Amino acid sequence: MRLYPINVSTKRLDQSRLCQIEAFARKPEVKIISLSAVGVLLNSPYSRLEDLYALLERKFRRKFRDPVFPFLAMRLSLDDPSVVREGTARSLREIYDTLHARNLLSLGEARWACRVEGELTINVLRARKTDILQRLSVVGKPIITFDQCALTGCELRAALNRELGSESDAIMRSYTSADFSSGSTEIFRSIATDFASSLDEIMHVVGEQSELLKQCKIIKNKFYFPSGPANFRGSKGPFTPWRRKNAFKKIEFPIRLYSNVASMDVFDQKNLEDEESTFLGDPYVLGHLALGPFILGLARWVIKNVVQRRHDVVAFCARDGHLLHLTYEILRSIYPDAPQSKYLRISRNVCLAFELKSAATITFNRSLLAISSEISVKDFLSRRFFLTLEEIAELNPTLEINGIDIHDKIGLGTQLFEILSSSAIVNFSLQRKRQQFSSFYLSELGDFSSIGLFDVGYNLRAQRILRSFLPADIFGYYISSFHETVYLEEEGLAHLNFLGAPVNNRLSDSVFPTALMELMLSEIGVGSMRDIRHGPDSAEPLFEDNQSSTNSTQIVKQIQKGALDFVKSAVDVFGKDIEYMVATPQSYFYNLDCFMRNPSKKDAKIFSDIQFGNSAVGNTFRIIGTDLKSSHWKSGYLAINKKRDLLGALYNLCKLRLIS
C-alpha cells in the first residue's frame, strides 16, 4: 500500500501508507491524531450519499404507498451547500424537523424517515481489516475521530464500540459535523481548543477523498488511507469494469452497493495502483466481485418468481444448479415465503433414455448421443443404451454378423446405429430405464402439484423429460436459452430466461461463453449422473468418473467460495433490505460479463490450466486451448496470447458484445 498525502503530489513513495502515517504520528509537532471513523476504521457500502437516499426512497415509497414520491431529490436538496447555511446544525433529527416544518413531510413520515435513515447508515458499518488503530494507539498521543455526517458523535461511537470492541477504548472522543452549528474549519478549531493545541498540531487521516473532507483546508497534515471501496474505485487497470463509459454512475445503485460490499472484504488492504487487472488474477476475488453479485441477483429473481407463481418446491438441476441452490438457501433466511428446494440429480444420460424412442432418432441424431468416436462399442452400449454385460453378450451375435467387434471403437459409420435402432434388446433396455427413472423422479417430486425448475438453459431438456411423466405443472427458470426453445414455449413448455429472450446462436454468440459459465456454477469434483441403483427401499444415483484435474477442482472451488462469501456478506450487511435492492439482470451480470468478454491477461490466466472431461463423451476439454478453435473461452485465449491478427480483431469486433 502507498501513502499519498492529499495536500502534496501523488508521486509514489517507497514505504507503505500505514508505515508513513505511523511515522508521521510519532513526530513531536503532532499532538492530536484525528481519524475519519467511516473510511479509516469502518467500511461503509455508501460511497455516495445518493445511494443511501435511493435505498431509503424505495422503502419510503412502499411504506407510505406513494410510488412517485421524490424522496431522493428532496433529501439531496438539504445536502446542497448553496441551500445549507453555516450556523445550522445538521443532525438527522434537525434535518427531518426542517422537512416537516416546510410541509414536505408529515410528522409521522419525518419521524419514520429519521429513524430508518439512521438505521441504514449505522447498521451497514463494518470494521476494516487493518491494524491502523492498534499501531497508532502505541504512539501515546490522543486519538479522536471526526466525520462529516448527519450522525451524532454518540451514535458513531456506538458503532465503533460494536465493531471494534475493546479496541475502541483507544479513541478518546468522537466528533461529527452534526454536533456543531459551524463549518468544518470551526469544528477543528474547537477540537484544537479542547486539547489545548493548535491546528498545525493535528494530523487527520481520511479513507475517502470526498468533497466535504477536502473542504478542511485549514488542516495542513491530511493523509489518505483508502477504504476497501475507495481502493477498488481507484484501480487504474484498463480492464476495470467501472472505467467503461462512466459505468459506475450509470449503473443502478444496488449494484454499486453490492460492489462496495465485495470490495470491503477483498480490497481493504490491496494496492491497486499498478494493477492491470480487475481481479488480481485471484480466483477468490473473481468469485467475490463478479460471480457473487450475479448469483445473488439470479437467486433473488428465482425467489421473486417462484413466490409469485406459488410453487410448492424449487428443483435445482444437477450439476449446473449447484451454486445457485446454495445461494437460494442462504437467501431463504430473509425470504420466509420462498418455497422449499431440492437438488435434483439429472443429466444428459438420464434424459437420453426418454429421447431415444425411435429408430430414426438412434440412426440419424447421433449428436444427441454426444459420444466420442474413440470410445469402445462395449462402453458405448453400456453408457448410452444401459445394456448389461449379459444383454451385450446376447446382442453380440448380431454385431458379429456385420463384422463389428464390441472392443473396437465405435467409429463414425451408420451401420452400428442401424443395428441398434432395430434391436429388441436395445428397445427393451431403454424402456426399462424409462420406467426406473420415472419411478425415481416420482419419488422425488411426485407429491408436488407445482414445481419450479432451475437449470442454466439452452434447450430445456430436463423440463421436457420431467413433464412427460410427472403429474405436476412445471415452470422452468433459466439463465439463457437458444432459439429452439421458442417453439417449445408455443407447445406449452412454460419458462423464463434471466438474461432475456432466446438467442439464435447460429447468427451470433450466446449471451455468455457457455462452458465457462457452467464450470463456475457447477458442482465440482463429482461426475454427472449416469444411472441409478435400486436398493430394497430406495434408489441411489450412480455417477460418471470425475475427470477434472485436482488443480481445476481447487480453482473452481475458490471461485465458488468467493461468490458464496459475498452473498453471506451482503445478507449480513443489508439483511432484509435486499428486498428493496433490485436491479436489471444486465447490471447484475455486468462485472462478470466484462470479465468474460474482455479479460485482462492476468485474470484470464486463472483458467489457463483448467481442463475437464467426461468418460462417456470420451474427450478432455480445455477452457483455454492451444489455439482459438479448441478454446471453449475464446476471449480468454485472445487475452493470454495477445492475438491481434485479423481473425482475433474480427472476432472481438463482431462477436464479443459488451453490455454497457
pLDDT, residue 84, reads: 45
pLDDT, residue 251, reads: 84
Tell me the β-bridge partners of 314: 341, 452
What are the C-alpha distances in Å from 156 to residues 42, 200, 288, 447? Answer: 10, 26, 29, 53
pLDDT, residue 509, reads: 59
Q: Cα(41)–Cα(207) distance, rounded to whole angstroms?
A: 8
Answer yes or no: are the C-beta atoms of 144 and 171 closer than 8 Å.
yes
Q: Cα(337)–Cα(356) distance, rounded to whole angstroms?
A: 40
First to last CA, the chain: 31
Looking at residue 143, what DSSP letter applies?
E
pLDDT, residue 613, reads: 67
Looking at CATH, the fold of the domain delimited by 4-44+125-226 is given as Rossmann fold (3.40.50)
Where residue 97 falls (left for φ over 0; alpha for ψ -120 to 50; beta otherwise) is alpha
pLDDT, residue 242, reads: 60
pLDDT, residue 80, reads: 55
pLDDT, residue 414, reads: 67
Q: Which amino acid is at 282?
A: D
pLDDT, residue 10, reads: 32
Q: Cα(252)–Cα(58) distance, rounded to whole angstroms?
A: 13
Q: Where are the domains of the chain?
A: 4-44+125-226, 49-123, 241-282+547-654
Helix, strand or coil, per DSSP, at residue 622: strand
Q: Which three cell numbers stand for residue 118?
A: 439512521
What is the sign of the dihedral through the CA atoms of 564, 569, 572 and 577? negative
Q: Which amino acid is at 202?
A: I
Helix, strand or coil, per DSSP, at residue 603: helix
pLDDT, residue 272, reads: 61
Assign 3-state DSSP to the chain and report helix, strand, coil percentages, each to 5: 50, 15, 35
Q: Which residues of the chain have pLDDT under 50?
A: 1-15, 81-89, 211-212, 215, 644-649, 651-653, 655-660
Give the pLDDT confidence of 579-596 residue by residue, as tens digits.
999 999 999 998 898 889
Helix orientation angle between 389-401 and 377-385, rounded to the nearest 10 degrees: 130
pLDDT, residue 314, reads: 97
Q: Cα(383)–Cα(615) distance, rounded to whole angstroms?
A: 9
Answer yes or no: are the C-beta atoms of 266 and 556 closer than 8 Å.
no
Give backbone dihedrals phi and psi of 480, rounded to 5 degrees, phi first.
-160, 165
What are the C-alpha distances in Å from 446 to residues 193, 438, 450, 467, 469? Answer: 76, 10, 10, 11, 10
Q: List the one residue out of 224, 215, 222, 226 whose CA is nearest residue 184.
A: 215
Residue 309 CA from chain centroid, whole number: 25
Q: Please tell me the pTM assigned to this model.
A: 0.89
Q: List the one residue out of 617, 570, 601, 629 whose CA is nearest residue 257.
A: 570
pLDDT, residue 646, reads: 43
Cα-only R_g, the chain = 30
Q: Cα(572)–Cα(568) distance, rounded to whole angstroms?
A: 6
pLDDT, residue 191, reads: 85
